[in-house]
Chain A
Amino acid sequence: MARFLVPLGIFLVLVGFLYVGLNLNPREIPSPLIGKPAPDFTLPGLKDPEQSFSRADLLGKVTLVNAWASWCTTCRQEHHLLMELARTEGVQIYGINYKDTREDALAYLQQLGDPYVISGHDIQGRVGLDFGVIATPETFIIDRKGVIRYKQTGAITVEAWRETIAPLLERLEAEEG
């Protein structure tokens, strides 16, 4: 009897592993930056290059930092949700315009609306590199002290907003500054 049970057991364990593996998203690489202070950066503003966007702008409030680009189709899908969050939920969204030309990025905001308090123009992706951005869109939730608390890889979906991000923002708002 053991003759059959042992291979069957091994087979079932293997099936279990494969089944779990099938449902994992290989794009979701855990970020080592969670729980760490957001990297120090300064970027020229997208709309006004004279204006700058730096880490200091994020302190003292709970913010969303969204890495986006006009060439990124998933960003387009996410955009209307960002607009809504900025308009109706009063979420402070900051943008890192990642490896984009200024004209393309401005045209994109012109066409779809601008949910960002300010967008920095990261033309070479250097700040993106410091944030460990792999592929836009990625969104970081940053607390009052400037610590990264969560990373959303890929577009923010309505479910992700409802189940994860909104409760987290609420919790962070309640934290001592």
Chain B
Amino acid sequence: MRILLLFLALFASMPALAIVEQADVMPADFDNPEQKARFRALTEELRCTVCQNQNIADSHASLARDVRRQVLNLIKQGKSDEEVVDYLVARYGDFVRYRPPFDARTAVLWLGPFVFLLVGLWALLAFIRRRNREQTASVLDAEEQVALQKALNALKDHDASAGGDK
């Protein structure tokens, strides 16, 4: 019963919250398809600072809605994509970008994977080389080599003589 009341109270408070919300960006708000395409590309590339695993395009957070509205305003004011991103970075930092710029702080982030790849390749090469060396060095001694060669020759002769039957 208590929980039910709580839900009722929540629903009752919703209209009050709704008054404050700005209208979300609607398809009719775009002047042309090019504007819409830019808006989509930008909002998909920007990260919502509230729901941090969502981009601005997908997030239902009220802040994301404000940012969407603002991105559209800036596009309509004739700002370039770069200027729109800079506008948000100036307020929320590089955190809003899914692709942070390459600088001293992000060098490890950008270069790390390649370093790991190189280390992995190096380890793989070292492993293969060692295995080859071990194999060629230890599998057969000279006597066994001769025996193997003999056996192979015998097999070849057998094949040659048997070949006529086919």
Contacts and interface: CB of A to CB of B under 8 A. Distances in A.
Contact of B66 (A26, A29, A71, A124): A124
Interface SS of B by simple majority: helix
Contacts of B62: 99, 125
Contact of B52 (A26, A101, A131): A26
Contact of A29 (B16, B19, B49): B49
Nearest to B89: A32
Interface in B16-46: 16-17, 19-22
A32 B96 CA distance: 11
A164 to B, nearest CB: 20
Interface residues of A, number: 21
A129 B20 contact: no
Contacts of B91: 32-33, 129-132
Given A29-B93, A29-B95, A129 B66 contact: yes
A158 interface: no
A135 B93 contact: no
Interface residues of B, number: 22
A135 to B, nearest CB: 6
Interface in A124-162: 124-126, 129-132, 134-135
B44 to A, nearest CB: 20
B54 interface: no
Interface in A1-35: 26, 29-33
Closest 10 CB pairs of A and B: A132-B91, A32-B93, A134-B49, A99-B20, A29-B95, A132-B92, A125-B66, A124-B22, A101-B19, A129-B66
Given A32-B91, A33-B91, 5 more contacts: A29-B93, A30-B93, A71-B13, A99-B20, A100-B20
Interface of B: 13, 16-17, 19-22, 49-50, 52, 62-63, 66-67, 70, 89-95
